[in-house]
A and B are shown apart, each in its own frame.
Chain A
């Protein structure tokens, strides 16, 4: 049986059908795409049983290592492993080069946009973006207009979600310019895959991802306050009960910096210190994984117990640098997303390399009319939610849900955008009894320091539930290792 299986090149994917979706690995005619050929040759030597065993041992290893996330609203404080699919997603070199150019273009424009709206506001005065949209942005921090951020960088770390449509065309789904998480899974997934398939890495030629921590550290050192030769950098976490706590400790360990909670820091004379066993020691750069609202109870939410009283004054005095800067949330606003192609044109005089998903703004009369008439076909999103919350998937929604959104849109049009339902590309994914196509997206991580660097690939998230289009970990999503090849085959 075994010999017979190894002779058949397609045995593990036998009976696999791409259906009517764009499949990353298998073309419409059932051929394995060129950049998956070498993987397929090695992969075919394995039986389903072997593959399943490796999956189980990876799951067990993750649980033991505590590669887990906390589930909110679970009273037992249960930690779950982020489900991991052992079958990698592969991107050829030329395609990645295009994506890289597109992402650099996008973050450059977003950064110029943030600088602009917190300073001269030319884009508004030139009539490209209506002022009302910015003023009504939930995360626009008007207190920070004319504040000089170190080296003019606002978004130091960005996680941009990319998807592919029915013909395999790449699109940007959203930008995450506040505290994007998930990069630790990129690094851990790679480690798991190297352990499971050591031979493949030798034969296929896959670009490494391990340099991420170093790139991040360099970018944090780059923004240190002027005159500080050897800056102390810390990672500020909300604490051990945050869903991304594993990632915080992981990154701190990789970078060799302290991980601190708000209560470890204290501000005196607009300088930040940490409490140590040898007294107070100065802190110069904070990679914060806490949202703006919770940073400083004397400025933002008074009830925040996570923050550091006085931190914002120290920041404004230029004695401490924050990454990401305060006020980047406005760029995550889904209404601003609509304007990103125009920002690229306005600031860079270029056409976007990776286009947006067509988007309707409920606050524009014509768009709203269209949205309300076509709710059952559209995806409707709240402008300032993330993690798959506050979303209507029209084609899959019940009548009641649609009506609920209709009321919500009419009541607060500024807060909603609509998009056509994109049939995300699919990827063969390990299921109970073999392999089936599951929808995926891609979140590359862009680090903006002295230069812009992007770790090859990023986090491929996969909607593990059959037919589901929601890839968020809080909603039954898992992840895959993402391989960017040195070549195109």
Chain B
């Protein structure tokens, strides 16, 4: 598979996952606010700013907006074209990548993604957003899930598919860790909080909801919502498909299918780092996590993911692409060598018989 194509599939899939995650975060937090009373400006900012931080764009945000209010944050995360990670930007980028690899994906998949793109850029999207944000987010989330289902049901399980899996799982792992980090300011630096207020219960429930984890969590822990249980579930669960550990295990699996290198060994830096990260979360307990401090731990995980992303790029997409000038130089060099070391070969493509018929400087014999 062409490196450029693999790269496009990786990012297409990653951007689709990103748009869905952002849709869920914003949606859940908008709904959460309905449960709170007496919200002043400060409280609102306290609520919304961590969400901007979770998506990793604090700097970009303050370039465009003065303060974090429900309106500015949602605008920034949903529509803002200057925010490369807004829902609209993510969908546009996913679609742009898909457009470059139309021959690799099925028409059903492309049409659905293109439909979503046309929708988020249309007037109707704004109208729906204004009248019913819930339905707006529903549309984004449902389309993302539909796309995943279509990919699952229609795409060949070839290398392209594996690169799509890589994009999806690295993004999902990253977003799960960031969502889990949203309320770190209410936690002590190390260890567990002494008591949990009613409001905090709602906030941690929102975290579960943002990861579509509410029902799954409830089936294990009932209605008890505690930061320790939530963090354990979202980080270390072996069964919940959005938990950090499951994402890394899936990522590792696809990575190894690409190269064919078995578990326990590695053939490139991406495999080495992924294997190590997987072992780390597999053999870690939640008490250890809180001893080090949840925020610190999550920060670490995100840095490791970044390093894995960079290693994937070097291993599969980059491949010593030279600049155009360097490449031209290589060609000229080759040509020189040929002239110097192989003077006996006749000029390429010249048929000696007919060269005689016409002079080299004036190719035509007679002017009529």
Contacts and interface: CB of A to CB of B under 8 A. Distances in A.
Partners in one complex: yes
A309 B363 contact: no
Contact of A120 (B114, B258, B354, B367): B354
A487 interface: no
A240 B366 CA distance: 47
A145 interface: yes
B96 A240 contact: yes
A125 B111 contact: no
Interface stretch (A15-23, A35-43, A59-67, A438-446): A59-67
A145 B358 contact: yes
Given A63-B118, A146-B351, A252-B103, A121 B358 contact: yes
Contacts of B114: 64-66
Q: What range describes how many residues of A lie at the interface?
A: 35 or more
Contacts of B107: 65
Given A146-B351, A309-B328, A277 B6 contact: yes
A134 B364 contact: yes
Contacts of B319: 275, 279
Contact of A275 (B2, B332, B348): B2
B363 A121 contact: yes
A252 B100 CA distance: 12
Interface string B301-335: 00000000000000011010100100110111011
A148 interface: yes
A274 interface: yes
Interface in A140-193: 142, 144-148
Interface string B213-228: 0000000000000000
Interface in B337-368: 348-351, 354-355, 357-358, 363-368
Contact of A317 (B327, B348, B368): B348
A253 B102 contact: yes
A263 B331 contact: no
Given A121-B358, A146-B354, A275 B363 contact: no
B366 A269 contact: no
Interface string B1-45: 111111000000000000000000000000000000000000000
Interface string A111-132: 0000000011100110100111
B139 interface: no
A313 B339 CA distance: 13
B103 A298 contact: no
B354 A309 contact: no
B4 A275 contact: yes
A309 to B, nearest CB: 5
Interface string A250-281: 10110000111101101111100011111100
A146 B347 CA distance: 11
Given A66-B114, A263-B321, A249 B102 contact: yes
Contact of A261 (B4, B96, B350): B4
B159 interface: yes
Contacts of A316: 348-349
A350 B4 CA distance: 50
B4 A264 contact: yes
A135 B367 CA distance: 11
B111 A65 contact: yes
Contacts of A261: 4
B314 to A, nearest CB: 12
B366 A125 contact: yes
A346 B1 CA distance: 49
Nearest to A274: B2
Q: Is the interface of A mostly helix, strand, loop or mixed?
A: mixed
B257 interface: no
A306 to B, nearest CB: 10
Contacts of A102: none
A261 B101 CA distance: 11
B100 A277 contact: no
Contacts of B367: 130-132
Contacts of A259: 103
A130 B368 contact: yes
A324 B144 CA distance: 41
A486 B131 CA distance: 56
Nearest to B1: A277
B79 interface: no
Contacts of B96: 240
Given A64-B111, A263-B321, A276-B2, A148 B349 contact: yes
Nearest to A134: B364
Given A276-B3, A309-B330, A142 B363 contact: yes
Contacts of A478: none
A121 B316 CA distance: 50
Interface in A295-330: 297-298, 305, 309-310, 313, 316-318
Interface string A93-120: 0000000000000000000000000011
Q: What range describes how many residues of B lie at the interface?
A: 35 or more
A121 B364 contact: yes
B110 interface: yes
B348 A313 contact: yes
Nearest to B353: A146
Contacts of A267: 331
Contact of B350 (A131, A146, A246, A252): A146
A277 B316 contact: yes
A252 B2 CA distance: 14
Given A121-B365, A134-B364, A269-B334, A276 B1 contact: yes
Interface in B46-77: none
Contacts of A258: 2, 5, 103
A198 B114 CA distance: 26
Interface string B281-317: 0000000000000000000000000000000000011
A148 B351 contact: yes
A261 B118 CA distance: 26
A147 B180 CA distance: 66
Contacts of A275: 2-4, 319, 321
A266 B327 contact: yes
B115 A64 contact: yes
B357 A120 contact: yes
A63 B331 CA distance: 43
B313 to A, nearest CB: 12
B99 interface: yes
Interface in B109-135: 110-111, 114-115, 118
Interface string A465-488: 000000000000000000000000
Given A64-B111, A132-B367, A240-B99, A297 B1 contact: no
Given A132-B367, A258-B2, A277-B3, A298 B328 contact: yes
Contacts of A274: 2
Nearest to A260: B2
Given A119-B354, A147-B349, A305-B324, A253 B103 contact: yes
Interface of B: 1-6, 96, 99-100, 102-103, 107, 110-111, 114-115, 118, 159, 163, 258, 316-317, 319, 321, 324, 327-328, 330-332, 334-335, 348-351, 354-355, 357-358, 363-368
26 contacts: A65-B110, A65-B111, A66-B99, A121-B357, A121-B358, A121-B365, A124-B368, A127-B368, A135-B363, A142-B363, A145-B363, A146-B354, A240-B100, A258-B5, A258-B103, A263-B321, A268-B334, A275-B321, A277-B2, A277-B3, A279-B319, A297-B324, A297-B328, A298-B331, A309-B330, A318-B349
Among all A-B residue pairs, the 5 with the closest Cβ atoms: A127-B368, A131-B364, A249-B102, A310-B331, A147-B349
Given A131-B367, A277-B163, 4 more contacts: A119-B351, A250-B102, A270-B334, A318-B348
